[in-house]
Amino acid sequence: MAKKTILYVEDSSTLVNMVKYYFESEGYLVLSAENVDDAIAIINKLQKIDLFLLDIVLRGTHKTGYNLVKEIRSHDIYQDVPVIITSSRDAKRSEITALRAGASMFVPKPYDLDELYGHVEKLINESKKR
């Protein structure tokens, strides 16, 4: 079975390394980008991303994870691909804004990697059924 691909957009290299190590040990391929522009470049190159994991606030840019969700949803092939948005900001307000922007789920930071993995597995399995 082919590896599932996650695009993780996060500007904290510590978090990227932790998530990448964890998910790759579970059989996923994890691509990462530090900002929205780099993420869009990856999206435009690839034809298959199984899940997007996005932070809201990204250093060095005025574009946020919310902007990226809208960009992702503008691509026909990614209309139904799960998108998880994470943030350490005001969880309730961030969750509402994330879901309105088109995210599948909001997960507040700091998150437990086992719990995050459970969310990823659930969303990917649900998207396969569609």
Instruction: Give the tens place of pLDDT for each residue, 71-125.
Output: 999 989 999 999 999 998 788 899 999 999 999 999 999 999 999 999 999 999 9
pTM of the predicted model as reported, rounded to 2 decimal places: 0.94
**What DSSP string describes 21-45?**
HHHHHTT-EEEEESSHHHHHHHHHH
Q: Domains (ranges, CATH) in the chain?
A: 5-129 (3.40.50.2300)
pLDDT at 129 over 80: no
CA distance 35 to 23: 20
Instruction: Give the tens place of pLDDT for each residue, 52-83.
Output: 999 998 876 778 999 999 999 998 999 999 99
The pLDDT of residue 46 is: 83
> How many residues in total does the chain contain?
130
Q: What is the DSSP letter of 14?
A: H
> Cα dihedral sign for 110, 62, 123, 91?
positive
